[in-house]
Structure 1
Amino acid sequence: MGSETRSQMLQRNVGELLQELRVAQAGVQILFGFLLAVVFTTPFREASGFEKALHLLAVLLTVASTALLMAPAAWHRVLFRSGQRGEILRVGNRVVLVGFGCLAGAITVTVGLIAKVVYGPVAMGLIGGLALLLFGLLWFIAPGLLAGDRLRRDDH
């Protein structure tokens, strides 16, 4: 892609970002639907205040994730003719990373809540901790390690 102009590169990068968000959004929608449906069940009405608070936290993290992960698509739609693709990419990348953090938090809280209801508070801590560790490693630490590995290879 050496003959690619800056405008073409920005257009391609925005397209790649929006495609990545389509993949993430499916997971957010499934989680959000599950969390909304749970509220209307009889067992939820009998849940403890702590369990209801955890559920609300998961819902709020899912709402934040939805807003953050959809923002770059909305910005692109509003600004696509204004020549601001560079800004959409620069700010959008940061917003998406925060959105992924909120999504990881929402899933972690949801899985922890399920473990609490089914097996108790110790399971909640263990399962929630493992989920958080998994997301942290795969979504945030591994990319840094891969980038460092590439830099080391490029130096040789």
Structure 2
Amino acid sequence: MSQTGAQILFGFLLSVAFTPRFAALSDFDKGLYDVTVVLGAIATGALVAPVAFHRFLAGHGMKPELIRVAGRLITTGLITLALTITTALLLLLRTATGNATVAWILSAAVFLWFTTAWLVLPLIVLRRTAARQRRVQEP
């Protein structure tokens, strides 16, 4: 799902520069757009890469390496996808509301949500599960 979402978001981002309103953006907002597009490209590449790895390495007895590299690529992809969505939201809210402070606050809150849902909660579950497994294994 994240792979497809990143690809669709990246496609929409590419089209923004060709809209009439793009020329009216401030230099800061154009720079923010550039950063957003680059982050979107990195996210898309990182989330698609495990498919290519699987195609190249399948049948070569490299499953542990494939899983390890794919996990790192997916983590990189999710981090850059969160950053892409956050910077795109910042650009959108700066443009739509005309209030930079509100845009920054709301975008930071969304990034905090991504950090919590995609990083903190999985780490909490992982630690709880590891602790539970240690208690079960103790004599």
TM-score (norm 1): 0.82
1:71 aligns with 2:33: no
Aligned residues: 134
Q: In the aligned structure 2, how far is the partner of 1:81 from the partner of 1:151?
A: 32
Match of 2:10 among 24, 32, 50: 32
Residues 39-60 of structure 1 deviation map (CA, whole Å, 9 limit, x = unaligned): 1111011111111111111110
Cα shift readout 1:17-47 (whole Å, capped 9, x = no counterpart):
xxxxxx1112112211211111111101111
Aligned pair 1:44/2:14, yes or no?
A: no
Partners of 1:123 and 1:142 lie apart in 2 by 27
The structure 2 residue matched to 1:127, chosen from 103, 106, 117, is 106
Identity of aligned residues (%): 33
2:58 partner amino acid? F
2: CA distance, partners of 1:67 / 1:26: 11
Correspondence 1:148 to 2:127:
yes
CA RMSD, 1 decimal: 1.2
Amino acid at match of 1:27: G
Moved more, 106-115 or 32-41: 32-41
Q: Structure 2: give runs of 5+ residues left out of the alignment.
A: none
Deviation, 1:98, is 1.0
After TM superposition, what 4+ stretches of structure 1 lie above 6 angstroms from structure 2?
none
Q: What's the offset of the Cα at 1:65?
A: 0.6
1:75-115 deviation per Cα after TM superposition (whole angstroms, max 9, x unaligned): 11111121111101011101210111000000000001111
For 1:61 and 1:29, the matched residues in 2 are separated by: 12
> What is the TM-score with the length of structure 2 in the denominator?
0.91
- 2:116 corresponds to which residue? 137
Give the unaligned 5+ runs of structure 1.
1-22
How far apart are the structure 2 equivalents of 1:77 and 1:94?
A: 17
| Structure 2 residue 83 is the aligned partner of structure 1 residue 108 | no
